[in-house]
Structure 1
Amino acid sequence: MFWKFDLHTTSHIDTLLEKEDVTLTEVMDEDDVLQECKAQNHKLVDFLLRPQCMEDLVTFITQEPSTDVEEKVKYKYPNISCELLTSDVSQINDRLGEDEKLLMKLYSFLQNEPPLNPLLASFFSKVLSILIGRKPEQIVDFLRKQEDFVDLMIKHIGTSAIMDLLLRMLTCIEPQQLRQDVLNWLNEEKVIQRLVEMIQPSQDEDRHSNASQSLCEIIRLSRDQMFQVQGSSEPDPLLSTLEKQETVEQLLSNIFDKEKNESAIVSVIQILLTLFETRRPAFEGHMECPPGMSHPSFSVNHSILEAVRPRLKDFHQLLLEPPKKNMMKTTWGVLDPPVGNTRLNVVRLVASLLQSNTHSINTELINLNTLGVILDMYFKYIWNNFLHIQVEICTAMILAMPPAPIDIQPDTEAEHVKESILIKHLFQKCQFIQRIIDAWSSNEKEQAEGGRRRGYMGHLTRIANSIVHNCDKGPNGPQIQQLISELPAEDREKWESFISGQLADTNKRNTVDLVNTHHIHSSSDDEVDFKESGFHQDSSLQQAFSDYQMQQMTSNFIEQFGFNDEEFADQDDVVDWLLNLARCKEKIQQFEDAGSDEDDIWDEKDVTFAPEAQRRPSSGSTDSEESTDSEEEDVKRDQFEASNPSNDDRMEVDTDCDGWLGTSVASPAASAPSDCGSSKAEEEASSSEHRSITETVINGSMKETVSLTVDAKTETAVFKRFENHLHTKELRFRLMVMRVVPVPVGIL
C-alpha cells in the first residue's frame, strides 16, 4: 500500500548535497542523516569520506566544545559524529583505520590531562573499539608503535570508558595468535603491576574501583578463554602474573602497610574473591567444574593461599578495628559503629577461604578465633541480612565439608584428618549450640513483651536445620553427634527440646499445604493421585480427571469461572467442595464392586445407544445388537440431527453420593446451564449444536440410566445420569469441575 500510492519521500539530504558550498554541520543538522548513512546513501558516504569531513568528525569527538555554545546543543555534533563514525559503513572504517593522520588525531585524546571529559571519553572509546573489532591488525600495529599507550591507559584508568577500552582489547581481537601477541605485549609493559599499584590509599576511589574491576575481568576473561581454547599451548601471561605469590603479596601490602582505606581494602578483597573462584559463572548451581574439566585455572592456586595466610591476622584485626565510620541512626536504633563495607567483605573472604578447605588456613582461623568474632557480629547486628547470609554460608560449609587434608612433606605419605577441627572449634570454643538456643529464647521473650522478631531469625532457623541435617546424614555426622553428647546435660536437654519443639513448630509453620487434606494431593509429576482417594485405577472418573491439577484449580477457579464473592468467599469454600470427591468413595466403590464379576460397564461393547425416537422404557433391558443397528441407521440419516429436548435431559446427579457427580464427566465445550431452572427456550436454542440420546445399562442386578450428549462442533461427548435436582450453587461448581476434561467421541 505504501509503494502503491507512492507515499515515500525523498530525503532532503540528496538535495542538500547538490549544493557546492554545503558544510558538514548543515548535513549533520538533518534529522535523517544517521539513517541515510546506515543505509549507505552513496552521495552522503562520498561526502563524509572527504578528507576535511573525516578530520572534522574526529575533531568533534576529541576536543572540548566551545564554552559559548548553548548547553542543550553543546554535545550535539560530537554525538552525531560518533554515531556516523561507528555506523558500520565499511568505507568509513577503511578510511579511518588506514589513515595514520586521522588515527593520531584520535589518539591525541588520551594525551589530555586527567580527568577526561567522561562523555567525550565514551565517544573516543566507542570509535576505537569499533576499529579494534573491524581492523585488528592495523589498530594493534598502530598502538604498539605508541610508546606511551599503556602509560596513558593506566593514567586515565579512573575514567570508566578507558577501562572498557582496555578490556575491549582483550575480548574483541579475533585471530588467536594476534590476541596472544597482544597479551604478551601488555604483560611486557607490566600492565598488571601498574594496575596493582593503583590500588593504594594515595589514589582516589574511582581509580581503586576501576583498577580492581579491570583485574577481576582480566581473571575471568582469561579463564574463560582458556576454557574455550583448551588446546592452546601458551598460557595466558596476564593471568599467570596475577596468580603469582608476589603479585598477591603486593596487593596486600598496599592496604595493610599503609593507612587504612576502606575503598582500597574492599577493592583488594574483590580481586582475591575473584582469584578464589573455582568455577566459571556459566556453571551456576554446581560446586564443581563440568566432568573432565581439570584445567589449573579452575582450582585455587596454592601460591595465592600462601600469600594470604600470613595476612589473616590483619584481616582478623579489621573485624575488630575497621576503618573509622561515623555513627549511623536507623529506624531501629543507633549503630555505633555500623558493620561497614570493610567488615562485610572480610566475612565474605573468610567464607571463600573456608571453601578452599585448606588445613593451614583453617588452623590459622582457629588460632585467631575469627569464627567467634564473626558469630559475635551476627548476633549483634540483628538487622544486617548481608552479614547474616555470609555467616550462614560459613557455618553450612564447616558442617558439610569433609575434614581438610593435613599439609604434608613430599617424602611422607598422605594422611587425612579424621575429624574436622573447624567443627570442633565451632561447637566447643564458639559454643555454637548454646548461642543458638540463647538467641532463640531471647527473641521469643522480646516478642512476648510486644517487641519485633529479630532480623536474623530466618537465617538462624536454617543454621539450626543444617546442624540437624548434618548430624543425621552429613559426612561429619558421627563427630557432630559426639560433640552434642559432650555438652553439659542442661545444654543437651535444651537442644533436644529445642529441635523437637520450637524448631519443629517453626518448620511446620514454614511449610505451606496447598490443599489441607490427605485425600487429595499432588503426585510427583504434578498430577492428581487417586490411589488414596478410593477410586479404582480403571474407572472412567479417574481417567477423566487424571490430567487435572488440583492445585491450579483450587487457586484459580474463582477468578477463572467468575463466581460471585457471596458464593465463594475464600479458598476454604473451594476446598470444601473438593472434599466431596473423597466423600464419594463408598458410593463409587459400591458401584464398581457391583460390576466386578462382569465386564466393565463402560466398555464400548457394553454401552449402546438408541435414537431419541426409539428410546425404550427405562425399565427395559438393552440388546447390544439391536442398539448397534439402530445407532448405525441413525448415523446414516443425520449424525447430528437436532432432537426435541425434554425436561428429563437437564443435568441431574446422584445425590446419594454426598452431592458429587459420580461417574459423570463434562466437556469444556458443553453448554451447562447456570441453574437447574433454565428455560425451555435455552434448551431449544442449544439443540441445534447438541444431540442427546439416552439408554439403560444393565449390569447384574443394577440398572443405570445414562445420557450421551454429542457436540458437533467440538466432537466431544458428555455422559449424564438422571435422578434428583441439585441446589443452584452446587450445580454451578460441579459443572465447572466437569468442564475441565474433554472426552473425545472416539473413546466412548
Structure 2
Amino acid sequence: MFWRMAGLSTASPVETILDRDNFTMEELLDEDEIIQECKALNSRLINFLSGKAQVEQLVRYIVEEAPEDAEKKRTFKFPFIACEIFTCEVDSILKTLVEDEELMSLLFSFLDPNNSHGNLLAGYFSKVVVCLLLRKTGPFMQYVQAHQEIVKKLVELIGITSIMEVLIRLIGADEHMYANHVDAMQWIEETDVLEMIVDKFSSSDSPEVHTNTAETLCAITRFAPAGLSAKICSPSFIGRLFCHALEDSRPKSVLVNSLSICISLLDPSRISFGAYHSYNRQMTNGSAVTANPETVEGMLESLGDLLKLLDVSSAENLLPTTYGKLQPPLGKHRLKIVEFISVLLTVGSEAAEKKLIDFGAVQRIINLFFEYPYNNFLHHHVETIIISCLESKSSSLREHILRDCDFVGKIIQAEKNFTLEAGTDKPTSPAEGKSPPRIGSIGHLTRISNKLIQLGNNNSVIQEHLQGISEWTDWYMSVLSNRNAVENVSQWACGRPTALHDRNRDSDEDDFQDRDYDVAALANNLSQAFRYGIYNNDDDMEEVHGSLERDDEVYFYFPIKW
C-alpha cells in the first residue's frame, strides 16, 4: 500500500470512477484498489456502497451462482470482492444489510434446497454471516429467532464445512460469543437443535456429514451454554447417540464419530481427535478427568453391545502390507472403541471399572495389542489403559491386569519371541519368502515395564507379584537394565565433546559469551588446508586447482551447543 502525501499524490482510480456520471457496479468492483479504499473509509465510496440497491447487488454476487457462459470476473472476482467489502466491517454497510428484512431474506436464500451450494460461494456466505453475527449480534439474532427455519436449513447442510462453522457460532459453541451476548442467544437452548444435529447420523450416509456432525457436537461439549450442555450430557441424549452408533445398517463412520462425541463428553479438553492426544496426556502424567456421573451411566448401558464389536468373526478382509498381511485389519471402529475405553478408565468410575472387568474388555484389548504388533495408534491407547489400571484406586482392577490378564507373562513371552510368528491363527502374519521382522511394540512394552517397576516401589501388591515371577527378575537384570542404559538419551554424545555434557548454562547470554571450540581439531584442519595449497597466492593458481581435485576432505569442526 502506498501512502498518499499532500501535493504529491495522484487521483485514486476509485475516485475517478465515482466522478463519472454513469458508472456500473461491475466497473467499481473491477478496480483493484476498492478494498483498500473501503478499509481507508473513503466517504464517497462508503456512501455509495451503503445504498440498498448496491448492498443487494453485492449479496447477489455471493448467494447466486454465475451463469455458465459468464465471464471469469463474474464467476470468481466479483463474488470475492463483494465478500471482502462486507468483511471490511464498515458499520453503515453492515447496518443496511442486517436491518433490512428483504436483504436478510436474500442472504439466507442461499440455504434453500434448490440451490447448488458450491463450496466457493458457501465460503463467502459463511464469512459474511459470521461477520454479521460478531459485529451486529443483537439485530442478527433477532432476525434468526424470528425465522427459526434457518437453523434447520443449516443443519441440513452440515456436511459443508463452511456451513458447519456458521452453525457452531450460531448455537453458542464458541468461547467468545455466548459470554458476551447471553440474552440474545438464550432462545437457542429452548430449540431441539441438538436432536436435529444428532439425527444426521441416521438420515445421511455421507462420511463428511458424520464428521462435521461430530465436530459440531464436540464443540458444544466444550463451549456451549449451560442449557445445551445439560441436554447433551443427559442419559437420554447418550442413549439416542448410541442407538444410531450401534445400528447394524449404518456405516462404520457413524460409530467412529459417535465415539468421538462420547470421548469429548468424558474429557472436553481433548480438542484433537486421534491417538496422539491421549499419548501426550500419558507421557505428561495427566491427572484424571472428571465427568458427569449421569453421562457415564448412560454410556455404560450400551457398553456390552459396544464391546461385542471388538470381536470380528469374519476374516474375509485382507490388507497386504510391507511386512506381511493383515487378515482382518484392525479397522477404525475397533481402534476408536479402544480409545473410548482408555478415556473411560481415566474418569475413575467404579461402575465403569466393574463392567469392564465383567465383560472382559481389558483382556480382549490386551490381546489386540499383541495380535496387531505394528499398529502404533493401538499401542498408545492400550498403554494408557494399562497404566490407568495399574494406577487405579481400585485393587480389583489392578489384580485383574496382573493375575487374570497375566500381562507380565505376556511381556516376557513377547520378549522371548520378538519376531513376527508365521503359520499362526493371529491376524498379522509375515510375508512369504522373507525373514520375519521384529515386532513393533517392544518400545511400548519397555515403557510399561519401567512403569511397573516404578509403581512397584510404592505398591506392595505389584512388587510381590513381580518378585514371584523368576523369569521377570532374570529378564529385568539381563535385558531391561541394559536396554534402559542404551536408550538413556541424556548420556548420548551426539557429536559433542564429552567435556561439555556437564556444563550448565544459566542463560542464553552466557552461552553466547562463552563458547568452547575444539581448538586442537581446528588447528589441525587449518594446517591441512594450508598444506594442500588452498590458501596460496595468485601465482600458484595451478597448484590450488590441483589441490581442489584431491579426494581428501578438508573441514572445520565447530561443536554445536544445544
TM-score computed with the length of structure 1 as normaliser: 0.62
Residues 1:502 and 1:202: Cα distance change in structure 2 (over 3 Å): same
Pick from 337, 347, 364 the counterpart of residue 373 of structure 1: 364
- CA-CA distance at 1:179 after TM superposition: 2.3
Task: State yes or no: 1:179 paired with 2:182.
Answer: yes
Quick one: distance in 2 between partners of 1:2 and 1:157?
44
Pick from 196, 201, 206 the counterpart of residue 208 of structure 2: 206
Pick from 396, 406, 426 the counterpart of residue 431 of structure 1: 406
Are the equivalent residues in 2 in contact too, given 1:382–1:455 (CA < 8 A)? yes
Residues 1:460 and 1:71: Cα distance change in structure 2 (over 3 Å): farther
Quick one: distance in 1 between partners of 2:251 and 2:257?
10
Pick from 441, 447, 468 the counterpart of residue 453 of structure 2: 468
Structure 2: stretches of 5+ with no match in the other structure: 273-279, 422-433, 531-555
Are the equivalent residues in 2 in contact too, given 1:383–1:455 (CA < 8 A)? yes
Pick from 286, 293, 301 the counterpart of residue 302 of structure 1: 293
Quick one: distance in 2 between partners of 1:245 and 1:568?
80
**1:551-562 matched pairs, under 5 angstroms:** 557=517
- CA-CA distance at 1:87 after TM superposition: 1.0
- CA-CA distance at 1:24 after TM superposition: 0.3
Match of 1:343 in 2: 334
Match of 1:60 in 2: 61
Match of 1:484 in 2: 466
Pick from 223, 239, 260 the counterpart of residue 249 of structure 1: 239
- CA-CA distance at 1:395 after TM superposition: 0.9
Q: 1:522 is matched by which residue type in structure 2?
A: D
Residues 1:209 and 1:465: Cα distance change in structure 2 (over 3 Å): same
Quick one: distance in 1 between partners of 2:386 and 2:345?
10
Are the equivalent residues in 2 in contact too, given 1:16–1:22 (CA < 8 A)? yes
Q: 2:79 is matched by which residue type in structure 1?
A: P
**1:596-607 matched pairs, under 5 angstroms:** none
SS class of match (2:69): coil
Match of 2:481 in 1: 504
Pick from 522, 533, 538 the counterpart of residue 563 of structure 1: 522
Q: 2:111 is matched by which residue type in structure 1?
A: L
- CA-CA distance at 1:22 after TM superposition: 0.1
- Alpha-carbon displacement from aligned partner over 1:593-632 (angstroms, at most 9, x marks no partner): xxxxxxxxxxxxxxxxxxxxxxxxxxxxxxxxxxxxxxxx
Match of 1:191 in 2: 193
Residues 1:565 and 1:130: Cα distance change in structure 2 (over 3 Å): farther
- CA-CA distance at 1:46 after TM superposition: 2.0
Q: Which structure has the highest helix share of the two?
A: 2
Q: 1:454 is matched by which residue type in structure 2?
A: I
Pick from 318, 336, 339 the counterpart of residue 309 of structure 2: 318
Quick one: distance in 1 between partners of 2:446 and 2:113?
57
Range 43-52 or range 2-11, more displaced? 2-11
**1:305-704 matched pairs, under 5 angstroms:** 305-321=296-312, 326-403=317-394, 420-443=395-418, 452-473=437-458, 477-486=459-468, 492-512=469-489, 513-514=491-492, 522=502, 526=505, 557=517, 563=522, 566=525
- CA-CA distance at 1:326 after TM superposition: 4.1
Quick one: distance in 1 between partners of 2:54 and 2:322?
60
- CA-CA distance at 1:483 after TM superposition: 2.8
Residues 1:329 and 1:336: Cα distance change in structure 2 (over 3 Å): same
Are the equivalent residues in 2 in contact too, given 1:278–1:299 (CA < 8 A)? no
**1:64-213 matched pairs, under 5 angstroms:** 64-70=65-71, 74-113=75-114, 116-169=117-170, 170=172, 171=174, 176=179, 178-182=181-185, 184-200=186-202, 202-213=204-215
Q: 1:501 is matched by which residue type in structure 2?
A: S
- CA-CA distance at 1:432 after TM superposition: 0.7
- CA-CA distance at 1:260 after TM superposition: 4.7
Quick one: distance in 2 between partners of 1:218 and 1:457?
39
Quick one: distance in 1 between partners of 2:129 and 2:446?
54
Are the equivalent residues in 2 in contact too, given 1:114–1:156 (CA < 8 A)? no
- CA-CA distance at 1:175 after TM superposition: 7.6
Quick one: distance in 2 between partners of 1:444 and 1:140?
63
Residues 1:219 and 1:500: Cα distance change in structure 2 (over 3 Å): same
Are the equivalent residues in 1 in contact too, given 2:419–2:437 (CA < 8 A)? no
Q: 1:361 is matched by which residue type in structure 2?
A: A
Q: 1:255 is matched by which residue type in structure 2?
A: A
Q: How many residues align?
A: 506
SS class of match (2:320): strand
Residues 1:180 and 1:249: Cα distance change in structure 2 (over 3 Å): farther
Q: 1:179 is matched by which residue type in structure 2?
A: V
Quick one: distance in 1 between partners of 2:36 and 2:7?
20
Quick one: distance in 1 between partners of 2:94 and 2:379?
53
- CA-CA distance at 1:73 after TM superposition: 5.7
Quick one: distance in 2 between partners of 1:30 and 1:73?
14
SS class of match (1:454): coil
- CA-CA distance at 1:165 after TM superposition: 0.8
Structure 1: stretches of 5+ with no match in the other structure: 223-234, 290-297, 404-419, 487-491, 528-546, 570-673, 675-731, 741-748
Are the equivalent residues in 1 in contact too, given 2:323–2:437 (CA < 8 A)? no
Quick one: distance in 2 between partners of 1:326 and 1:112?
39
- Alpha-carbon displacement from aligned partner over 1:436-459 (angstroms, at most 9, x marks no partner): 01111111799xx97543221111
Quick one: distance in 2 between partners of 1:478 and 1:4?
82
Quick one: distance in 2 between partners of 1:41 and 1:322?
71
Quick one: distance in 2 between partners of 1:568 and 1:387?
56
SS class of match (2:373): coil
Are the equivalent residues in 1 in contact too, given 2:142–2:184 (CA < 8 A)? no
- CA-CA distance at 1:321 after TM superposition: 2.6
Quick one: distance in 2 between partners of 1:41 and 1:323?
70
Residues 1:561 and 1:308: Cα distance change in structure 2 (over 3 Å): farther
Q: 1:509 is matched by which residue type in structure 2?
A: V
- CA-CA distance at 1:51 after TM superposition: 2.6
Pick from 220, 223, 229 the counterpart of residue 221 of structure 1: 223
Residues 1:324 and 1:145: Cα distance change in structure 2 (over 3 Å): farther
Quick one: distance in 1 between partners of 2:141 and 2:20?
40
**1:715-734 matched pairs, under 5 angstroms:** none
- Alpha-carbon displacement from aligned partner over 1:494-542 (angstroms, at most 9, x marks no partner): 100111110011101001325699987627x547xxxxxxxxxxxxxxx
- CA-CA distance at 1:318 after TM superposition: 1.3
Match of 2:539 in 1: none
Quick one: distance in 1 between partners of 2:291 and 2:308?
25
SS class of match (1:75): helix
Q: Percent identity?
A: 27
Task: State yes or no: 1:263 paired with 2:253.
Answer: yes
Quick one: distance in 1 between partners of 2:315 and 2:148?
42
Q: 1:497 is matched by which residue type in structure 2?
A: D
Quick one: distance in 2 between partners of 1:327 and 1:442?
25
Quick one: distance in 2 between partners of 1:432 and 1:306?
28
Residues 1:36 and 1:479: Cα distance change in structure 2 (over 3 Å): same
Quick one: distance in 2 between partners of 1:469 and 1:549?
39
Q: 1:11 is matched by which residue type in structure 2?
A: S
Match of 1:692 in 2: none
Are the equivalent residues in 2 in contact too, given 1:133–1:172 (CA < 8 A)? no
Residues 1:12 and 1:181: Cα distance change in structure 2 (over 3 Å): closer
- CA-CA distance at 1:152 after TM superposition: 1.1
Are the equivalent residues in 2 in contact too, given 1:354–1:398 (CA < 8 A)? yes
Quick one: distance in 1 between partners of 2:315 and 2:8?
70
